[in-house]
Amino acid sequence: MIAAQPRSRILGTGRYTPARVLHNTDLEKIVDTSDSWITERTGIRRRHIAADGELTSDMATAAGRSALAAAGISAADLDMIIVGTISGDSPLPACAVHVQQKLGAWEIPAFDISAACAGFVYGLTIADQFITNGAACRVLVIGVELLSRILNWKDRTTCVLFGDGAGAVVLGPASGDGRGIVSTRIFSDGALAGSLVIPGGGTSEPLTVDGIERSRDKVHMVGQDIFKVAVKNLSSASLIALEGAGMTAADLDWVVAHQANLRIISQVAARLSLPLEKFVLNIEEYGNTSSASIPIALDEAVRDGRIKPGHNVLFCALGAGISWGASVVRM
Ligand code: UT7
């Protein structure tokens, strides 16, 4: 099979995670749960929570600055900012315009992607298209979530799972040495739209006092529905992206999967016939940070030297929508 030639490549990575840490044992005091339940069912031990007054756009900007510095460019060099988030500063305008303003990247397109946990893979795929078409040269792609403010802290089925944080990459044109985004694929299936929702606050259910009392403005999830489809779809999307790259799973050096549940990741590893040691894991530390989870884990592994230039890395993510996707990148 002829290997695909990348058109865009990752020039730098960055992340920001809030300092405040909430341990499973802290949650035992808030809801009817236990450290052992959370650890055994999910792999999560801690999650980072944004400080009071800290904004989604603050975290996104910090991660963006870190990625720009790693890429060796300034905000003025950017042609576009794409932010994957479902927890922006406000429903209107896009979180990305606040990031643009805070970075000082004037008069370039800046927009949000609403693909939940798949937001980063969606953003990467869109950025790759703009660069491939020649319509943009340097694109900042950020995954950021401040989920702690849209969780129902009385609902043990959701509040123990999620955390806050931001990760980012700067994409630029590939230089013909084979490094870059080799293949990337995105998918959605609205049949499971009701399994992971914030039901209130939109046009179908404008918020009322009663709605707020019933936490209709907070995350609701039927975890089992998502779990089953996550294992199947993450595996199939990964195989499709690998096929597009002219590779098999055996060619991969690392997999950076969305960190929703260690059991999901383990089952995907088994389906791809890969050892868990090939997966970058940080769910223990951050929980599920939705669109931020892949770029945070990527940045950690790049900076600590696990992921090296030339390594073949697979990203895969699935979340509300349901929306999912996978990318193969030669770093
Ligand atoms: O990132 C976005 C996409 N989201 C995901 O990928 C999440 C996918 N789903 C999951 O990861 C898992 O389904 C969960 C971690 C959400 C739940 O794990 P599970 O093994 O599927 O548990 P379950 O929902 O089947 O619940 C089992 C039991 C229930 O009690 P009963 O009915 O058996 O008595 C729950 O009420 O565990 C109970 N339970 C809890 N117990 C202690 C649910 N949450 C908790 C909790 N602490 N926090």
Does residue 139 sit in the same domain as residue 221?
A: no
Domain range spanning residue 140?
8-175
Catalytic site residue from 117, 159, 282, 316 = 117
Catalytic site residue from 233, 261, 282, 288 = 288
Å from CA of 39 to ligand 1 middle: 12
Distance (Å, rounded) from C-alpha 139 to C-alpha 134?
12
Distance (Å, rounded) from C-alpha 200 to C-alpha 217?
5
| 4-33 CB burial, b ≥16 within 10 A, e <16 | bebbbbbbbbbbbbbeeebebeebbeeeeb
Q: Is 126 in the pocket of ligand 1 (CB under 6 A)?
A: no
Domain boundary among 175, 197, 231: 175
Give which of 147, 154, 160, 281 is closest to 223, Cα–Cα. Answer: 160
Nearest residue (by CA) to ligand 1, atom 14, is 223
Distance (Å, rounded) from C-alpha 293 to C-alpha 301?
12
- Identify the helix (H) or strand (E) that includes residue 102: helix 95-103
Does residue 159 sit in the same domain as residue 46?
A: yes
Å from CA of 223 to ligand 1 middle: 6
User: Does residue 23 belong to any structural domain of this protein?
Assistant: yes
312 carries an active-site annotation: no
Give pLDDT, residue 3: 57
The predicted-structure confidence for 188-200, as pLDDT tens digits, reads as follows 999 999 999 999 9
**How many CA within 13 A on the CB side of residue 166?**
36
Does residue 155 sit in the same domain as residue 171?
A: yes
User: Does residue 14 belong to any structural domain of this protein?
Assistant: yes
User: Does residue 314 belong to any structural domain of this protein?
Assistant: yes
Does residue 58 sit in the same domain as residue 89?
A: yes
Does residue 156 sit in the same domain as residue 197?
A: no
User: Does residue 251 belong to any structural domain of this protein?
Assistant: yes
* Cis amide linkage into residue 322, ω under 30° from 0: yes
Contact 249, 267 (CB under 8 A): no
- Can you tell me the mean pLDDT for 301-314? 98
pLDDT category of residue 5 using cuts at 50, 70 and 90:
confident
The CATH number covering residue 192 comes to 3.40.47.10
Domain tally for the chain?
Answer: 2
Give pLDDT, residue 4: 73
The predicted-structure confidence for 262-301, as pLDDT tens digits, reads as follows 999 999 999 999 999 999 999 999 999 999 999 999 999 9
Say what percent of the chain tops pLDDT 70. Answer: 99
Residue whose structure tokens are 């479902």:
86
Å from CA of 157 to ligand 1 middle: 6
User: Does residue 68 belong to any structural domain of this protein?
Assistant: yes
Cross-strand pairs, 144: 166
Given a cut of 90, is residue 2 above it in pLDDT? Answer: no
117 carries an active-site annotation: yes
Cross-strand pairs, 192: none
Q: Is 303 in the pocket of ligand 1 (CB under 6 A)?
A: no
User: Does residue 71 belong to any structural domain of this protein?
Assistant: yes
Does residue 65 sit in the same domain as residue 194?
A: no
Does residue 52 sit in the same domain as residue 122?
A: yes
The predicted-structure confidence for 199-247, as pLDDT tens digits, reads as follows 999 999 999 999 999 999 999 999 999 999 999 999 999 999 999 999 9
DSSP annotation of 147 reads G
Does residue 148 sit in the same domain as residue 222?
A: no
